[in-house]
Amino acid sequence: MVMRKKLLSYMRAQISIAIFDKMSFKNLSDKVIARVKIIVFLLAFMPLDKLLLYAYLNNLGANPIEKITRVTGYWALFFLLITLAITPIRRLTKWLWVMRLRRMLGLFAFFYGFLHFLTYLILDQFFDCEAILKDIIKRPYITIGFFAFVLMIPLAITSTDSLIRRLGGKRWRFLHRLVYLTAIAGVIHYWWLVKKDLTEPIIFAVVLTTLLGVRVFYGLKSIYKV
Amino acid sequence: MKYYKNKPISSSEITPSYLFYARRKFMQLVGGATLAAIMPSTVWANDKLSASQNVTYNLKDELTPYKDVTSYNNFYEFGTSKEDPAENAKGLKTRPWSIVVDGEVKKPKTFDIEELLKMAPLEERIYRFRCVEAWSMVIPWIGFPLNELIKQVEPTGNAKFVEFISLHDQEQMPGQKSSVLEWPYREGLRIDEAMHPLTLLTMGLYGELLPNQNGAPVRVVVPWKYGFKSPKSIVRIRFTESQPVSSWMQAGPNEYGFYSNVNPDIDHARWSQAKERRIGEFFKRKTLLLNGYAEEVAQLYAGTDINSYF
């Protein structure tokens, strides 16, 4: 509780600095960006913090493994969509600085996806390779979920400055379009695993369609203008 | 030299505390028993439900904690997440309550819940409970065989199946505002399955009346089938000649069959049924054919390959 209060007051202070630092929102200074990044970084860990706290308090419910699987999977998808929202936000608001958050958000999507995968590998199946292989081959929702996760790996690896430089912007951008596939596969994964109540998968699907639709819209616009 | 106005009580005269409390306990018991004898009409008081332990169906497995049994439920009438029923079922009114029993029977009748509770001696039975989602529990239910009720209404020769219909009331069951399933919830059994002594008309668990989230005030428990085949909050039991269509069959015909016997060799359309996670355990355990009740119920499916029942 104390930690949380401290964290909240720190964030409040940082936000007010960001606002009153006579900044326009179009561009923020490096100093402010660094602060925003810290805030986003701390915020992005909150789902994990909550999970760990609840695990410590033995408060994860009757089926803790299912709960952990659901929470990590949910946040992996959530961060994927947030990452995909960055470019549309920049276009709509002309805030250039949001781009500087994209890598971190994308890595958080990978982070939660990785935790999700580890939960399945260790907690759920406990390294039962035969069962896992069968699952991946036989169960479409696991096949596609695994596919979504695997596609994220090269993106996470090539996210460092030096690798971006070595690949070159063009090739890097091309490679990182894989994130669209990951997000689509991730949402399908969620859609297929739900027993009956599709409310949440539908929300994710609508948001994803919108985010991809915006890209198509801008793409077409640029084609027809040129 | 010590002076005592009264002779001190020698320690031998002091009633040991264990006897003192034993007497208290005895008096409470006698008092309770007397009270129960004076008012024999109620077998339940303060939500407690007395029942004798059934020695045959007395599984030695460790019981799933009461808290888990009553906080991790699939009861879509109260919402689709596992925590919803415990939260949303508080508004369910379980008194008065009655069950209409009709259809292919000689003596159709409406039974009041109080009448049901006295119809046959209540037994506590410890059953495995296996959900189609590959988790399981061990639960001490209280009830009596459904066949006791069936015998009273005398099914006709045409009665081949039994349909169970649960309460349909959006006010009390907020989950019914969503069309996630077709309401009311309907389930069904073949008549011989319904007559089987394992099939339990259930009014309680863990020594008390059924909590609302577990299907109060009356449900059926069919331990060798997946959990959704054990309907909750039943208001009508109908005997039919043709096989009824259950809510889950309607929702997913190729995922939920009419029989839905627990069978590790028949996978669900989207996940394996070979193993299950017993709530409270870390490692998955192997799922047993007919949930471990093969010896008792296999004869219901004799002559045909058990795997052909879906």
The model's pLDDT over B89-126, given as tens digits with 9 standing for 90+, comes to 999 999 999 999 999 999 999 999 999 999 999 999 99
Of the two residues B2 and A29, the one the predictor is more confident about is: A29
Return d(Cα A190, Cα A204) in angstroms, integer.
9
Of the two residues A55 and B21, the one the predictor is more confident about is: A55
Instruction: Indicate whether A38 belongs to any domain.
Output: no
Does the pLDDT at position A169 exceed 60? yes
In chain B, what residues touch A138 (CB-CB under 8 Å)? 267, 272
List residues of B whose CB lies inside 8 A of any A CB. Answer: 67-68, 71-72, 76, 80, 82-83, 133, 135, 178, 180-181, 251-252, 267, 270-272, 274-275, 277, 279-280, 282-284
Q: Band the pLDDT of B306: cuts 50, 70, 90.
A: confident
Instruction: Indicate whether A116 belongs to any domain.
Output: yes
In 3D space, the residue among A50, A63, A34, A223 whose CA is nearest the CA of residue B280 turns out to be A63
Does the pLDDT at position B175 exceed 50? yes
H helices of chain B, in order, are: 17-38, 66-69, 84-88, 113-119, 146-153, 191-195, 247-251, 294-297
| For residues B45-68, average pLDDT | 88
In chain B, what residues touch A140 (CB-CB under 8 Å)? 270
Q: Does B267 sit within 8 Å of A196, measured CB to CB?
A: no
Q: What is the torsional sign of CA A177, A160, A8, A48?
A: positive
What is the total count of domains within chain B?
1
Centroid of chain to Cα A179: 10
Apex CA B301: angle with CA B296 and CA B304, to 5°? 140
Instruction: Indicate whether A46 belongs to any domain.
Output: no
Return d(Cα A182, Cα A148) in angstroms, integer.
4
Of the two residues B46 and A108, the one the predictor is more confident about is: A108
Q: Band the pLDDT of B41: cuts 50, 70, 90.
A: very low
Instruction: Indicate whether A14 belongs to any domain.
Output: no
What pLDDT score does B40 carry?
A: 44
Q: Does A62 sit within 8 Å of B280, measured CB to CB?
A: yes
Residue ranges of A 125-144 with Cβ closer than 8 A to chain B = 125-126, 131, 134-135, 138-141
Task: Looking at the complex, report in whole angstroms how far the Cα of residue A55 sits from the nearest Cα belonging to chain B.
Answer: 14
Of the two residues B32 and A104, the one the predictor is more confident about is: A104
| For residues A201-216, average pLDDT | 97
Q: What is the torsional sign of CA B79, B84, B86, B89?
A: negative
Instruction: Indicate whether B19 belongs to any domain.
Output: no
Instruction: Indicate whether B15 belongs to any domain.
Output: no
Q: Does A131 sit within 8 Å of B271, measured CB to CB?
A: no
Quick one: CA torsion of A44, A47, A52, A55, rounded to 10 degrees? 180
The boundaries of the domain holding residue A190 are: 64-225
Does the pLDDT at position A174 exceed 90? yes
Instruction: Indicate whether B141 belongs to any domain.
Output: yes
Q: Does A140 sit within 8 Å of B272, measured CB to CB?
A: no
Instruction: Indicate whether B7 belongs to any domain.
Output: no
Q: Band the pLDDT of B5: cuts 50, 70, 90.
A: low
Phi, psi of B65 (to 5 degrees): -55, 145
pLDDT digits (tens, 9 = 90+) for A9-18: 877 776 666 6
Q: Does A197 sit within 8 Å of B83, measured CB to CB?
A: no
Instruction: Indicate whether B66 belongs to any domain.
Output: yes
Q: What is the mean pLDDT of chain A?
A: 91
Does the pLDDT at position A154 exceed 80? yes
User: Looking at chain A, which residue has its C-alpha nearest residue B71?
Assistant: A62
What pLDDT score does B45 carry?
A: 58
Instruction: Indicate whether A122 belongs to any domain.
Output: yes
Q: Band the pLDDT of B233: cuts 50, 70, 90.
A: very high
User: Looking at chain B, which residue has its C-alpha nearest residue A198?
Assistant: B180
Residue among A61, A131, A195 whose CB faces B133 most closely = A195
User: Looking at chain B, which residue has its C-alpha nearest residue A199?
Assistant: B180
Q: Does A134 sit within 8 Å of B272, measured CB to CB?
A: yes
What pLDDT score does B44 carry?
A: 58
Does the pLDDT at position B256 exceed 80? yes
In chain A, what residues touch B83 (CB-CB under 8 Å)? 61
Q: What is the mean pLDDT of chain B?
A: 90
Return d(Cα B303, Cα B310) in angstroms, integer.
16
What pLDDT score does A213 carry?
A: 96
Task: Looking at the complex, report in whole angstroms how far the Cα of residue A198 sits from the nearest Cα belonging to chain B.
Answer: 9
> What percentage of chain B has pLDDT greater than the value 70?
85
What pLDDT score does B128 carry?
A: 97
User: Looking at chain A, which residue has its C-alpha nearest residue B182?
Assistant: A196
Instruction: Indicate whether B11 belongs to any domain.
Output: no
Window from A73-82, B11-20, B43-52, B186-195 with minimum mean pLDDT:
B11-20
Q: Are A136 and A146 in contact (CB under 8 A)?
A: yes
What is the total count of domains within chain A?
1
Instruction: Indicate whether B119 belongs to any domain.
Output: yes
Window from B11-15, B28-32, B224-228 with minimum mean pLDDT:
B28-32
The boundaries of the domain holding residue B54 are: 46-308
SS3 B144: strand
- Interface check A59 vs B, CB under 8 A: no
Residue A124 DSSP code: I
Say which CATH number the domain at B123 has: 3.90.420.10
Instruction: Indicate whether B160 belongs to any domain.
Output: yes
Return d(Cα B102, Cα B73) in angstroms, integer.
30
- C-beta atoms surrounding B143 within 10 Å: 28
Does the pLDDT at position B308 exceed 70? yes
Task: Looking at the complex, report in whole angstroms how far the Cα of residue B209 sits from the nearest Cα belonging to chain A.
Answer: 21
Best probe of the A interface among B68, B77, B80, by most A CBs < 10 A, is B80
